[in-house]
Structure 1
Amino acid sequence: MNRRIVNYFEGLTVICVEGKKIERFLSYLYKLKIEILDVQYIDRHKVIIKVYHCDSDKVLNMKTTYDIKIIGYEGKVKLWLGLKKHVLLLVSIIIGYIFLLYLSNVIFEVEVIHSNAKIRNLIIDELNEKNISKWKFKKSYEGIEKIKKEILNKYKDRLEWIEIENVGTKYIVKVVERKIKEKEENYLYQDIVSTKSAIIMKVEAVEGEIVRRKNDYVKKGDVLISGRIMKGNEVSKIVKASGKIYGEVWYNIKVEHPLFYQSKVLTGEKKRVYQIQFLNFNIPLFDFSPYKEKVVENTNVISNPLIPFKIVKQLQKEAIVEDEIYTDGEALIKAEEQAVKKMEDSLDEEEYIISRRKLKYYIENQKLYLEMFFKVYESIGEAREIMEITE
């Protein structure tokens, strides 16, 4: 083994010796079988020697007229003494690092963005059940994707899509409510008005007077088919207007896709294990043959939301990990497919995407973020009751 490596692990003591006939002192050390690893002569009466740390006490305890004193250490002894000297600093650094690790992995705020308070409360309740709330630990990308799918599946009739974005110590949740065709109101007299800003592409009137034509730009609430039938400048009669109006509508959709993704395929093997969890560290108890990869379901045995420590009972299912690594171009294609699917899922049978284009994309934290613009052929008409009737 390399001498320097041996010296490091053995540890060396650097000793200064002063006195007359210094060679006689060194000879005496050899007789005592004390190995001198290095000798540096300062002058005729002074020398600095290096010996193994285990021999330093023998040198210091020698009964002699020479002045002997330790002036330094090398190897593991120097390291250990340095650690002891700066133990408070080291403990502070370790505690600080653990605290910083805790802070960077804890959720301090969850914000749900939606104009409807009922939808916001619904999402907050669901996230709380899935441990996405204040003072809880952040989820992995796979965990977030799983939660999004579970929420959408549970409320498929109410929610169109949901996005959970991690910004620092905050989760920002964006939700789009599913368009539900309300039961047709049985108005006696009505207009057909626009539900949103659009350019009219097709008008089919069954009853009533068409007041906006193909290629007209309309805003939300504009009358498209009027229930007031005009004769000159006067209303000749009022009817229940009906028909179909389709327009070109515009949407911006934002999506994200990881550059590296792991999927887990279950093998069918499973077992129950108890585990201590502290911050991001997991310590299994009596698990002598751990699965290399697994999917787990946790049940808390001991926990407190204010303390980053708990004991859980886990149902572990063995899995095989399949890695998917995407180039920037491949991730861009996947993100575009995801945006198109999100748009298509919101459309009805006769509605479709007219055109689409990428507005911008960028890569950050091993994810590709994409914003796309869509032109959509979409139904834009709804009934609005005519309230003021003059006989």
Structure 2
Amino acid sequence: MEKLYDLARGTVRLEISGAEPERILNFCAQNGIEFWDTDPKADFAMQITIHAADYPLVQSQNGKNGIELRLVAAKGGKNITASMKRRFVLCIGVGVCIVLLAISSLFVWRIDITGNDTISDGVILRALSECGLKNGVFWPALSSDEVRSDMLMKLPDIAWLSVNVHNSCVEVVIHERIAKPDIVNETERTDVKAAKSGYITKLSVLEGKALVSIGDTVSMGDTLISGTMDSETAADRQVHAMGSVQARTWYEINAQTPIYESVKTEKGHSKTSLSLVFGKNLIKFSTDSRNNGASCAKINKLRYAALGEAFTLPVGIIKQETTEFTLQKQRIDENAATQRLKQNLLSELKRRIGDGSVSQTSFSVSKTDELLTVTLRAECIENIGVEYDRKNDRS
């Protein structure tokens, strides 16, 4: 701030030479003239800086007592005014740019989203747009509380969010909702039934009456643990059956892939075209290539001009890279395809058994003129018991 003050008043850099240059320093002190940046240059010379308004008074001492004063540099003050007069159009342009920048800072030109893991940026941006928060909107007219309330209604998977405005940039911090754990309603009358066929290896009953034993073979839908408890002295008691039934299960899963696949081959060199984004308008510098007969792949990259991290200008460049290609049919690498299908089958098996374990697996491969087939046969140990509400039987 002090430097800006000195620049506005104007400063003068003087070189003092003579037998006693300190006489000028004493003269300044006696007359209340502020000086700074004293710098000795030789045995009988030094340089000081004073305000431009004090220069005539100090210059009056030139030649007295054998002292010589020489002007080294002058900055600010009238020099700025004179420079502005010589460059009037440039100054007007700079002033207009500053005004436009100040006005553009009142509009949103960039939205940053953080904290989202399961909800994609695209879904959040569409919801924000429906709530009134999008590029080009006048942010002082927005209510962060209203945007937050509308977003929580549109996206129930969001627990809370905050909307922070930094000039033309808006930061949206997302905190996703944590799924509630399953709560057992012990007032419900349920049975435990077999979700899959299997050979029972372990039985653990927490509530209810076991209808099967270890070593039994059951089919899908069989009742394993009944919610009806027998009583010798009173009527049967209905409870919420709970328990774990570990069983040996078997799977046979197939996966297929075509023997031949279409491969993209680049046709010539890629082409790059630029477009200018100004606010909500798009200005193209080249003709549209969407009507080209050849197949092509396009990659668009948008980058806005920015001043630091918190200020984004409403001007950006879209760089589009277009690569023409042709499709050629070729035979796949069967070994690589087989390994890929095996991994996919193991992933699918893991998804089906959940917390269960795999005892043993085997693969078989077959192929025709068009298809490659991989078959997985597996033996697993898993919990096949699932709770079944008796209300479903009555409905």
TM-score, normalization by structure 2: 0.35
Structure label with greater radius of gyration: 2
TM-score, normalization by structure 1: 0.35
